[in-house]
Amino acid sequence: MKNVLKAIAISVVLAGCGAQAPNTEVSEAQPIENNASQASVYDTVNPPISEHMKSPSILVFSKTREWRHEDGIAGANLHMIKLARKLGYGTFSTENGAVFNDENLARFKLVVMNNFTGDGLSPTQEKALQDWVEAGGGLLALHGSGDASHSDWPWYADNVIGPTFIGHPAAPQFQDARIENLAPEHPVMAGIPAEWTANDEWYSFDSLPMADFTLLAGLDESTYSPVNTKYGDVSDLRMGEGAQNHPIIWSRCLGEGRTVFSAIGHRETAYDSVIYQKLLENAANWVAKTTDAEGAGC
């Protein structure tokens, strides 16, 4: 009870300062985030999944134990319902990490990590998803799912995301920027224009993804201000001249599985873009192996 009261008090203070408090999803007495002296709380009760859920389906997972992108989560959840219907899949959306077990995962064609942040999965749940991907599953990670809050899960942080998030602009936070198609021959980028403009919270990373990642799209830093003078240790967020030196979407093949990470999607408006809708449809089809069955994109 003391921990719950403390969490409420902190949330009130942060709200008064105009900051967003961490998610306080509580099953019992949840420890305060970032307090190393207290153990994380993991979900242990399997979420009820209807026997009538269409098969196969898309699992959309959006648990947050660090920053919560409320608008982006809502936008992606709605978009994935529409996309699943278009592709002939069912959908199941949850923030319950106990969904990750062998029996449940066998019912899904694709897992979407929708702005998933923080230490939200137990080692057993992490291993279940890792094994599922490497055995042939498809994983799509969106925006906050690639932030710096996943160091507790090295397989995900290193093999799905790769480089470490270092910050985003804050003055202003949301800016128009030019995005370049870095891999027009890749199935995920099929039908995507050579360049387009979008408005988002643009992530920067400490390095480029490793050689066995495929860079799909990148930012032209000359078209926006990649600086942050408001908070954090890094103010200069430039990664390098040319969009190939500032990637924001990339893919990788892990074992028999496939993954795509996109840093786009802080707000629900990202999913209004016809270009981004097409890109996400391509990504869903590619990681699910309904396109490129021979693995040329690997």
Do the Cβ atoms of 196 and 262 come closer than 8 Å?
A: no
Q: Which two tokens stand for residue 219?
A: 């930012």
Is residue 45, in this structure, part of any structural domain at all?
A: no
- The C-alpha atoms of residue 291 and residue 99 are separated, in whole angstroms, by 27
- The C-alpha atoms of residue 261 and residue 283 are separated, in whole angstroms, by 9
Q: H-type helices in 17-92, by residue range? A: 70-87
- pLDDT higher than threshold 60 for residue 144: yes
Residue in this structure with the two tokens 């979008």, named with its chain if needed: 198
Q: In this predicted structure, what is the pLDDT of residue 192? A: 98
What confidence tens digit (pLDDT) does each residue in 202-245 have?
999 999 999 899 999 999 999 999 999 887 778 999 999 999 99
How many percent of the chain have pLDDT more than 90?
78
Do the Cβ atoms of 60 and 72 come closer than 8 Å?
A: no
26-35, 116-125, 222-231: range with lowest mean pLDDT:
26-35
Is residue 292, in this structure, part of any structural domain at all?
A: no
In DSSP terms, 258 is beta-bridged to 138, 253
pTM (two decimals): 0.85
CATH code of the domain containing 106: 3.40.50.880
Is residue 28, in this structure, part of any structural domain at all?
A: no
- The C-alpha atoms of residue 15 and residue 296 are separated, in whole angstroms, by 49
The domain tally of the chain equals 1
- pLDDT higher than threshold 80 for residue 21: no
- The C-alpha atoms of residue 109 and residue 8 are separated, in whole angstroms, by 38
- pLDDT higher than threshold 90 for residue 128: yes
Residue type, 206: D
Is residue 110, in this structure, part of any structural domain at all?
A: yes
Nearest-10 Cα torsion for 249, 110, 186, 251: 40
How far, CA to CA in Å, does 233 sit from each of 36, 39, 167, 295?
21, 27, 9, 41
Between residues 20 and 193, the one the model is more confident about: 193
Do the Cβ atoms of 121 and 66 come closer than 8 Å?
A: no
Q: Which two tokens stand for residue 232?
A: 């954090």
Question: How many residues in the chain?
Answer: 298
Q: Which domain holds residue 245?
A: 55-287
Is residue 162, in this structure, part of any structural domain at all?
A: yes
User: What is the rounded average pLDDT of the residues 172-191?
Assistant: 97
Q: In this predicted structure, what is the pLDDT of residue 249? A: 98
Is residue 295, in this structure, part of any structural domain at all?
A: no
- pLDDT higher than threshold 90 for residue 8: no
Is residue 14, in this structure, part of any structural domain at all?
A: no
Is residue 206, in this structure, part of any structural domain at all?
A: yes
